[in-house]
């Protein structure tokens, strides 16, 4: 689980190492961002400021890259990531009802639960159209969900993975 922390001297040194490893490579920004996210679980603002300074690239340009690509995260994720499919098949078969159910359970899109156990992302397609509506928890796909099945799934998952 990525833990949000104050940007420490250690964290700063880690970002410096990553920038140093890729700084002379053509198109290094995306490689650096990937490596930093892999290290911390997300892209802390302080890391982006340091990258901007070291590469002499405006912070606004870095934010443009980060917000353009959906795989970059500006906030930490939970220990387990729920990806709710909002693609056409899932949407038509009830994904919106599943989202409302998750919201009633305290989940918020793009946010981590208070205990850090889950985070929720809405995605366009997970390739499970025949199982619509569907979601993923980490790398596992769960389909043909109803609000009741979803509640039970989340409760059981939490019990099994505590």
What percent of the chain lies above the pLDDT cut of 70? Answer: 96
Query: Band of the pLDDT at 6, cuts 50, 70, 90?
Result: low
If pLDDT is split at 50, 70 and 90, which confidence band does 158 have?
very high
Average pLDDT over residues 53-78: 91
What pLDDT digit, counting tens, does each position of 47-60 carry?
Answer: 999 999 999 999 99
| Per-residue pLDDT reduced to its tens digit, 16-48 | 999 999 877 778 999 999 999 999 989 999 999
CB neighbour class for 79 (10 Å; exposed up to 12, middle 13-18, buried from 19): middle
pLDDT for 27 equals 82
For the full predicted model, state whether its pTM sits above 0.75. no
Per DSSP, which regions of the chain are E strands? 80-85, 118-123, 135-137, 140-142
């Amino acid at each position: 689980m990525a833990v949000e922390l104050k940007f420490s001297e250690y964290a700063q040194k880690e970002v410096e190492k990553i920038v140093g490893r890729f700084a002379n490579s053509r198109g290094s920004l995306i490689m650096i961002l990937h490596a930093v996210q892999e290290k911390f679980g997300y892209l802390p603002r302080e890391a982006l400021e340091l990258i901007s300074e070291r590469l002499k690239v405006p912070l606004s340009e870095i934010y443009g890259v980060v917000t353009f690509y959906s795989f970059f995260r500006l906030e930490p994720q939970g220990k387990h990531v729920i990806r709710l499919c909002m693609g056409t098949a899932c949407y038509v078969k009830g994904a919106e009802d599943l989202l409302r159910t998750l919201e009633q359970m305290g989940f918020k899109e793009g946010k981590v639960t208070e205990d850090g156990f889950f985070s929720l992302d809405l995605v366009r397609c997970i390739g499970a159209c025949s199982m619509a509506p569907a979601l993923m928890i980490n790398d596992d796909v769960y389909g043909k969900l109803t609000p009741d099945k979803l509640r039970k799934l989340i409760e059981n998952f939490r019990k099994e993975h505590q």
